[in-house]
Amino acid sequence: MRSVIKFLVVLALVFAVVLWVAGLDGQMEIRHGEWWIGISLPAAIVLAVALFLVLHALLRIVGWLRGWPERRRVRARLNDRALAEIGLTRALVALAAGRPEAARIEVARAKGLAGATPQLLLLEAEAARSLGDDEGAAKAFEELAARADSRFLGLRGLLRQAEAREDWDSARQIAAEAQAVEPKAEWLRAERSEVALRRKDWGEALALSSSEAPRASLTLAAAEQEPEPAKAAELERQAFMADPAFSPAVLAHARRLTEAGSPRRGRAVLQQGWDAAPHPDIAAAFLAPEEDRIRRVKMADDLTRNTTAHPESRLLRARVSLDAGLTGRARQELVALRDSGHADRRGYDLLVELERAEHSPDAAREKEAAWLREAAEAPAEPIWRCGHCGTEHRSWKPLCDACNTAGAISWSGAGR
């Protein structure tokens, strides 16, 4: 209804204009020498309008003729793009169906029609990867990385290839470039951390680690790699503060303080570490400065005053008492350890030594045999063990040799 009204309004306006023009008086004349042309004003107006319309139509025709080749090229490009999209879909279906060779052929056809678009390059790389053509996949990923709009896709593919061939130096560089392109990609930060672990670059691994990472282990490992003593000392302190129960960090921090001329602070660190998690290495470091065996008994009492009933504390007091010839006290500690149910083979080995110290060989033989029988059924002595794969280690390491898991090696023993 509105369209009809608009049409009638326009028609009325045109009719009104025609009437107005028809009612105009006057004449239009053109003189040139003896030549004279005269025409009424309404006819002149109509003639001017008609001439304008004819010229406008001619210009439109000329413009249409000039743009015809470009329109033809545009139609051809649109047709090629439509065919390329069909080829892209076929390539996706072929890949999903496990026919990478067919996908590769479809991608090649589509590239001939639409050029090397990011979608086609990514499909080409995936098809080549499925066929085991690492070189072809790398070439496609490099083309993707060379484009501003698909650089991250290309770098991601190159990163996966570098990790697959265990080229960790290249992986580190590619991951850093990818992070610069997409700073908010959290998974990439974790990927860079994993690459740093593989390279055993503990400082970078620590900087990239998450809150769930074993920070004490990573910090101590970074300290061992740090060439500057001051920075290494600070990293050892941070490792100790991160986990006072982590004996390697306790020992490293205490040793650094002692070497720096602060033996009292070093002993305080050892005491704090022992209170957090008694460990035989901490006891050995605490007692090392004292050679007198009787005084070592007193030092052992001081060290274990807050962990009197802990199996490691009983073992330590029994060992130093036996070394000092205090066999009665040693037996008291060992019997209490055995009765607690936490005695491992070390406790029974000390009982065997105790029998030999108190009795003659003939008299001790029978008792030794009894302790050895119990020792055979007792738990093994504590050891450094990987919590991920169970591999045993003679000493702590930041990385498991068997499964390459970082921070998984821990002290497993009685009372832990």
What's the pLDDT tens digit per position in 376-386? Answer: 888 888 999 99
Asked if the structure places residue 15 within a domain, the reply is no
371 and 396 in a single domain? The answer is no
In a domain, 64, yes or no: no
Whether residue 269 sits in one domain with residue 218: yes
Q: What percent of the chain has pLDDT over 90?
A: 43
The pLDDT tens digits for 48-100 are 777 888 888 888 888 888 877 877 776 767 776 777 788 878 888 888 888 98
**392 and 368 in one domain?**
no
Residues 236 and 267 in one domain: yes
398, 368: one domain: no
283 and 333 share one domain? no
Q: How far, CA to CA in Å, does 190 sit from each of 93, 208, 388?
A: 32, 7, 19
Determine how many CB atoms are found less than 10 A away from the CB of residue 392: 12
Q: Let me know whether 271 and 223 are in one domain.
A: yes
Q: Is residue 151 part of a domain?
A: no
Number of neighbouring beta carbons within 10 Å of residue 337: 27
Asked if 267 and 241 sit in the same domain, the reply is: yes
* Same domain, residue pair 371 and 399: no
For residue 41, which of 15, 20, 65, 21 has the smallest C-alpha distance? 21
Which helix (H) or strand (E) segment holds residue 143: the answer is helix 134-146
Position 416 scores a pLDDT of 39
Between residues 406 and 301, the one the model is more confident about: 301
In a domain, 373, yes or no: yes
How many other C-beta atoms are found inside a 10 Å radius of the C-beta of residue 290? 15
320 in the same domain as 262 = no
Which of 33 and 261 is assigned the larger pLDDT?
Answer: 261
Is the residue at 50 inside a domain? no
- The band of 7, judged by pLDDT with boundaries at 50, 70 and 90, is low
Q: Which of 254, 298, 253, 244 is CA-nearest to residue 275? A: 244
Domains contained in the chain, number: 3
The segment with the largest mean pLDDT, out of 37-41, 50-54, 156-160, is 156-160
Burial of 224 (0-12, 13-18, 19+ CB in 10 A): middle
Whether residue 294 has pLDDT greater than 50: yes
Q: How far is the C-alpha of 171 from the C-alpha of 185, rounded, in Å? A: 16
* Band of residue 274 on the pLDDT scale cut at 50, 70, 90: very high
Domain co-membership, 315 together with 336? yes
Across 266-394, the runs of DSSP E, i.e. the strands, are 383-386, 392-393
The answer to whether position 204 is within a domain reads no
Q: What is the pLDDT of residues 327-357, one digit of tens each?
A: 899 999 999 999 898 888 898 888 888 888 8
In which band, very low, low, confident or very high, does the pLDDT at 301 lie, cut at 50, 70 and 90? very high
In Å, how far are 176, 177, 310 from 183, measured between CA atoms? 10, 10, 49
Nearest to 96, CA basis, from 136, 132, 116, 123:
123
Mean pLDDT of the chain: 86
Question: Any idea what the CATH number is for the domain that residue 225 is in?
Answer: 1.25.40.10
pLDDT surpasses 70 at 20: no
Q: Is 222 contained in some domain?
A: yes
Average pLDDT, stretch 246-252?
95
Is 199 within a domain?
no
DSSP string, 224-265: HH--SHHHHHHHHHHHHHH-TT-HHHHHHHHHHHHHTT-HHH
- Same domain for 221 and 247, yes or no, is yes
Q: Which domain holds residue 407?
A: 383-416
Average pLDDT over residues 163-177: 92
Residue 4: C-alpha distances to residues 9, 13, 14, 133, 416 (Å):
9, 14, 15, 68, 93
Neighbours of 26 (CB within 10 A): 8
User: What does the pLDDT average to over 113-133?
Assistant: 86
